Amino acid sequence: MLSTNAAATLRKEAASLREVHLRDLLADAGRARGLVYEMDDLRVDLSRQKLTAQTMTALLDLAMETGLVASIDALFAGERINKSEDRAVVHMAQRAATRREGAEYARLSGFADSARRGDVTDVVNIGIGGSDLGPAMVSAALAGHASGPRLHYVSNVDPSHLHDVLTGCDPARTLIIVTSKTFTTAETMRNAALARDWQGGSGGGMVAVTAAPQVARGWGIDPDHIFEFDQGVGGRYSLWSAVGLPVMIDVGPAAFTDMLAGAAAMDDHFRTAPHDANLPVLMGLLRVWNRNFMNLATHGIMPYDQRLHLLPAWAQQLEMESNGKSVSVDGAPLRHATTPVIWGTAGTGCQHSFFQALHQGSDPVPLDILVPMRPTGLHLAGDWAASHQVLVANAVAQAEALAIGSPNEAEPHRHFAGDRPSTIISWNATTPFALGRLLALYEHVTVVSGFVWGVNSFDQWGVELGKAMAGQAEAVLVGETASDSLSVTAADLLARMSGSGDS
């Protein structure tokens, strides 16, 4: 990537733009409005990024020189682009109209409807990673559409997580959903075993969502209560599949289907829109620009929508597990940085915590500031409606303040340098359709930046070593093996645990 002609141009662009303040760039109305892109009511405003029209042209040239068109075509054609696992990438098929109209989806919807109509009072989803982060985030985002049994998510192997959830549930009226691609994930299966014992040991009140149905049957799940998804669906891309069952029970099949339709609409836009008007392409190239040419190592995602407060955690896994690689798709060492550190939380609370560092700290952090123009699922009037206006005003004001700043040489502690980039992403309201569209946008942003960086965005071998070493440490704790394979201090700590007794 760094050896392309476009990269050389972009390095010159970056050097030039470092000498120009964002307040001066924003003063050019033609430039500012020219960096606002739309897909229906979804609006992406890049005017507060250190960009010009020339920068965008060079970034699009970089996309061409790194073969982005061919990579996107291969993705949609179902080629086996996940080379390390020799798999196609099929998560988009999970939200396509053909799947929504098929028998498998009808079976899933029928089960969700039966759970909503029956005597189930609580649904507990046990999973971790993509089997938890995506569904939990969507359930929070669509809380205004919730109409099913009470819904809980358990991910941590810390027994207090499961205990605190089950304490408020009735074993006879609780549906346990065990979500695991392999049905061998250590944390998930330990929690599932505890939940099975809590229900009496038969597993009759349990459902499996998995790509390994035979393993689920062997574990004791009734075949009629097993819902499959394809091996080519990566965990962090899986909420569109049967992994979304707890959401479907929560909000109903119709709302869940609307969410899939919104994601499919973004898929169509990504596949067909010209790259100079293609939201995922432009935002993915911006990731590369800020990471590799502006040398910004982190990226904040700040939703000004309380119900989207879990979106940054979902995006952390999406981008950092996908693109946190230091070798190319073919295994060659890379000479350039890849994913930034993704982080964030909901506004406006963040303004009273870490925004101090964003405004006056030494490290600029590019942000995505996300804001719906109106609330959904709320019937607001008077002061209640005014509160949402205040929310929108805060989102816009923070972006403006970060970019423009407020010089004060007389009182340095009141000096705001500005020149800190952000993108405002806005839409009408967070409906299921709009949510699906937004989440698919972030998926494709991740894929675009991964293609340009030359990495495999669809494997995650980096999580395996920690799992293996956890197994070794557990074997030491229970006395099955000696601690010779561990460092001295690790062995000392485990010995302390073994001798601590109950407390």
Task: Classify strands 36-39 and 42-45 as parallel, antiparallel or unpaired.
Answer: antiparallel
Cα separation, 268 vs 252, in Å, equals 25
Cα separation, 330 vs 42, in Å, equals 36
Cα separation, 377 vs 305, in Å, equals 12
Radius of gyration of the chain (CA): 24
Q: From residue 195, give the alpha-carbon distance in Å to each of 174, 241, 394.
A: 10, 24, 44
Cα separation, 460 vs 440, in Å, equals 20
Structural domains present in the chain: 5-81+259-373+385-453 (3.40.50.10490), 96-251 (3.40.50.10490), 463-498 (no CATH)
Could you tell me which residues come within 8 angstroms of residue 139 by beta carbon, excluding any fewer than 6 positions away?
Answer: 146, 151, 153, 246, 247, 250, 251
Q: What mean pLDDT is predicted for residues 316-321? A: 97
Letter string b/e over residues 354-365, b meaning 16 or more CB atoms within 10 A of that residue's CB: bbeebbeeeebb
Residue 378 has pLDDT above 90, yes or no: no
Q: Which tens digit of pLDDT belongs to each residue from 19-48?
A: 999 999 999 999 999 999 999 999 999 999
How many percent of the chain have pLDDT more than 70? 98
Residue 499 has pLDDT above 80, yes or no: no
Q: Express the helix, strand and coil content of the chain in percent, nearest 5 each.
A: 55, 10, 35
| Weakest-pLDDT range from 90-94, 166-170, 382-386, 482-486 | 382-386
User: Which residues are catalytically annotated?
Assistant: 321, 352, 467
Q: What is the pTM of this model?
A: 0.95
Instruction: Give pLDDT, residue 501.
Output: 45
Phi–psi pair at 431, nearest 5 degrees: -80, 170
Instruction: Identify the three-state secondary structure at position 122.
Output: strand
Q: What mean pLDDT is predicted for residues 120-136? A: 97
Q: From residue 214, give the alpha-carbon distance in Å to each of 108, 221, 222, 241, 319.
A: 18, 10, 11, 18, 31
Contact 304, 394 (CB under 8 A): yes
Residue 503 has pLDDT above 60, yes or no: no
Hey, which residues does 299 pair with through a beta bridge?
Answer: 342
Instruction: Give pLDDT, residue 211.
Output: 95
Q: Using 50, 70 and 90 to split pLDDT, how confident is the model at 500?
A: low
- Dihedral over alpha carbons 234, 236, 330, 271 (to 10 degrees): 90
Q: Using 50, 70 and 90 to split pLDDT, how confident is the model at 484?
A: confident
Instruction: Give pLDDT, residue 498.
Output: 77
